[in-house]
Amino acid sequence: MIKKIWDFLGDIRLSFWLLLAAVGLFFIGMLHSSFDFSYFRAMNEVRIQDWLARELPTRPGANWWLPPLLGALFFLGVNTVICTTNRVIALFRARTRTDYRFMISLFPSIIHALFITVMIGHAVTITAGTWIRIPIAEGAVLRIAPDLPPLSVDRIEDTYFPKGSRIEKRIMQTSVTLAGEDGAKMQLSYLDDIRYGGYRLHLDMVKEKVRFTHRDHHVKASEDGETCNRAEMYRSRERKRESSQKLFLLAIADPGLPVILTAFSLILIIMTWYFVEALRKRGNE
């Protein structure tokens, strides 16, 4: 009985159908998030279990696809683990010697194992991550967590694109100088996060005119017209920050991040190695 279940769960045909199920559900999610962009944007800063507990009963029509998607990905993970284990066992049983070729033959299984690791990393992120959004203004004191000393905002400096260009009134970079209690200074910019007490600090900006419906479930996202294009938020009339351009500090504690990035990097290396070897083998033949 156990062997039957094991074989069923590790069957490659099941992999195929689970992959297709996940494809379909991701596409359904894509459509929902296209029509309700800012509603689903808020989901990026909430743990999945909290989101489901809060949103599934209130807006089941928009969220129904999430549980089956998570289920399909879970079973895909189980399927991949079993399938990979079976293959590795078979390879070790059939091996005549342990050499370079044998190592290469293990690469697809290693890639599958790393894929599982990436999925676990994402699962950790969406279930255990913490996202805190705090408005920033010069002179403000930022309290990220009760156990962390506060940070004060010393200076906010915007750099615009070069004068004379067609985008001269658009912000190219923002640099925020933060000071700790001991007076130590830190520079925070877009694309250049800093680490602070277990959190990674990022910058984000919102223009008030485009309403950010972050926990406002009564306003449908389609009503506020927000799309993935945020270019207009960074345009000022006079190369000077406008009062409607609100800067935010995003403090993120993401325990899944190192797992995801490490596994992704290893997948890239091993996948490239494997296909280069495959090409070389074909060339020799």
- Which positions touch other proteins (CB under 8 A)? 12-13, 15-16, 19-20, 22-23, 26-27, 29-31, 33-34, 37, 40-41, 43-44, 122, 125, 131, 161-162, 164-168, 170-174, 189-193, 200, 202-204, 227-235, 250, 252, 254, 257, 260-261, 264-265, 267-268, 271-272, 275
Q: Based on CB atoms, which residue is closest to other proteins, 127 or 181? A: 127
Among the listed residues 44, 37, 38, the one whose alpha carbon sits nearest the alpha carbon of residue 202: 44
Distance in Å, CB of 198 to other proteins, minimum: 14
Q: How many residues does the chain have?
A: 285
What is d(CA 168, CA 261) in angstroms, rounded to the nearest whole number?
Answer: 35
CB closer to other proteins out of 181 and 198: 198
The rounded distance, in Å, linking the Cα atoms of 43 and 258 is 21
User: From CA 266, how far away is CA 47, in angstroms rounded?
Assistant: 27
Shortest separation between residue 97's beta carbon and other proteins, angstroms: 25
Q: At 224, which helix (H) or strand (E)?
A: helix 221-224
Partners of residue 187 on adjacent β-strands? 177
Which lies closer to other proteins via its Cβ, residue 5 or residue 31?
31
**Least distance from C-beta 233 to other proteins, angstroms?**
7
When the beta carbons of 97 and 166 are compared against other proteins, the nearer one is: 166
Nearer to other proteins, 57 or 164 (CB): 164
Contacts of 167 (CB under 8 A, 6+ apart): 161
CB of 125 to other proteins, least distance (A): 7
Contact 76, 18 (CB under 8 A): yes
Query: What is the rounded CA–CA span in Å between residue 135 and residue 203?
Result: 10
The arrangement of strands across the sheet holding 130-136 comes to: 130-136, 245-253, 199-207, 194-196
Q: How far is the CB of 234 from other proteins (least distance, A)?
A: 5
Q: For other proteins, which is the closer residue by CB, 181 or 272?
A: 272
**How near is the Cβ of 181 to other proteins at its closest, in Å?**
24
CB of 34 to other proteins, least distance (A): 4
Q: Which residue, 165 or 181, is less far from other proteins as judged by CB?
A: 165
Phi, psi of 135 (to 5 degrees): -65, 145
